[in-house]
Amino acid sequence: MPQTVAPSPLIATMVAAARLGGDIARRHFSACGQAKVDEKAARDYVTAADVAVEAAIAAALAEAYPDWSINGEEKAGDRDHGPDAPRFLIDPIDGTTNFAWGIPFFGVVIALLRGDRIDAGVVYDPMRDELFHAERGHGAFLDGVRLRVRDDRDIDHAVIGASLPIPGQVKSMNVARYREILMEVMDHAATMRRMGSAALSIAYVAASRHDAFFEDGLSPHDYAASVLIVEEAGGLVGGFDGGAIPKTGAVLAATPAVHPWLVERFRG
């Protein structure tokens, strides 16, 4: 049986905060999709649960690290201690559309940044009670068990996660070309999946449940924690072209075996 590894005090605090938020999300969740939904923008939803989860997480993190900044997607409990302070990013419910429609696949996400460097990340699936975490230089873990990406599946045997973007979401390339790439992947991969939570879908690459995942128009709140988890598990993460993730939020996470094939399509 794989040995579990005890987390650092920082990770333990982030994990406790994520679990607290997950408990609140579960209490709000209705499998019949009865959540009251507000639109922040077209097809961009927020529920009362998003705000409640974020406020609870922010309060827990502020109590443990009163001099560190907090930036949440819903701005519930934000604190700014200046550009030099470590900064927590919170996405209280990544996959709000799933949550609001009663689909039990969404994540509670916390990342710690020092400057632009992601130093720690936690992604919690409250419905399956699964918790991914990573701390820079210390590996990636799922429920305390170390993760390493598989590197023995080529594109013909790969499960690829991808976004089916809403209008205006594709910002890093021509929309028609993006759709062509989706079709190319469908024609070559073993199968494709669109799960509805970018944070969990990227973390699934670290767990070898996905061999790759790509989506455009993401924010660091969505991807920062999972990017570190994949990197610490030996995967590759960057923009569609294989470079750094651009400000437009194009994220491609993949195993070393599949990454070059996908980058070639995006560059072409």
Annotated catalytic residues are: 73, 91, 93-94, 96, 222
What is the rounded distance in angstroms from the CA atom of residue 161 to the CA atom of residue 213? 4
What is the rounded distance in angstroms from the CA atom of residue 140 to the CA atom of residue 266? 28
DSSP string, 126-190: TTTTEEEEEETTS-EEETTEE--------GGG-EEEE--PPTT---SS-HHHHHHHHHHHHHHSS
Cβ(91)–Cβ(73) under 8 Å? yes
Return the closest-CA partner of residue 117 out of 220, 222, 260, 242. Answer: 220
Q: How far is CA 90 from CA 70, 73, 76, in A?
A: 8, 6, 10
